[in-house]
Structure 1
Amino acid sequence: ILCTIIFVLLKVFKKKNVINKKNIVQFALIFSLGIIAMISYRNILIALNDFLTERGINSRNIHLFLESGVYLSGRENIYEDVFHAIYMNPILGLGLAGDRVIIDSYAHNLFLELVLDFGVFIGFIIIFILFFLITKSFMTRNKENYDMIIIWFSLGFVHLFISSSYLIDIKFWIFVGLLLNTITKSKLRGIG
């Protein structure tokens, strides 16, 4: 459902010509903040509850969320283990498929997996390059290229924030290939 919603939003935004660099950066920021909130929602709720309680405000809804066991299908435990492993190995990370070593599964989040695999510095460089390529490809004026990009963005990228791994997902690599192809073609057209 999430992938379909993202696809429809990108399609509508392009039709209304509201896709520009500023809006893409805003979208990326909101998307990233949403992922961070999803990963650490419990800690956010605890901090918010403490903040409100210190000021004499009690929130029944926050208490219900904290007590009723609203979980991310066990992902919160995975994220805690991954964050701990990143903290313990920030420079070099654990190497490719490092998440499999510490949790016997994948990290369920592309950004966390990249930082865990390659370390904080190289992981963030890879994330920056991905955002750069995606932003540049969203700026294409060719309707067919744009449609293909948002289809594969929705199929091969979005779901990696809640499931699967970039290492085993062919849709992600098709998307990366499409990004590189689109950028290369646009640079060649600009030169010639």
Structure 2
Amino acid sequence: MISSRKSLAAGVLLLLAALLLPWGIQRFSSTPREESGAAPAVGRAASIRPPTKLLAVDPGLPAPQLSPHPTGSAEHRAWLRDRGEALLDLSWNDDVESLNGILAELSNPDPEVRASALAATLNFGSRDAIPRLQAVALATEDPLERKNLQDAAEHLKLPSLTEVLAKRKQATGK
């Protein structure tokens, strides 16, 4: 029984690492010259993913927040960092408005905001997010991002530890 818990924990950690690794590499791979706001190094310009088109927004969700700063600017990077932190903060709440605020950002045109929203959705841990994750996955053109969204939806379908323990308690009658 202990080995199955360890396997489950290892699987969850592996899934989170797989979902967040592309975002982390992109976020932390900039050079000090780029952080200072100077022009990107030659050869790096092609690796910076520009914002994509805005995905269809669910009418029950607020509109995603867009950066007021030019893409690639120091202000834009600071805004992205602040927006990611705000989404993570929302993920610790247990209310519908916070979840809707996070889910709205899954259709943000900026891939870094979408990655932050996906991480916050997993942290929030509500199964209510599954239909939105699946809908956004169907509308996403990037195969890696689509897979990450589908994996997140599958992860949220897994039973929680509380549910497993309650089921075990019912089965044993203790």
| TM-score bucket (shorter structure) | 0.3 to 0.5
Q: TM-score with structure 1 length normalisation?
A: 0.35
When Rg is computed on C-alpha atoms for both structures, the one with the higher figure is: 1
More helix by share: 1
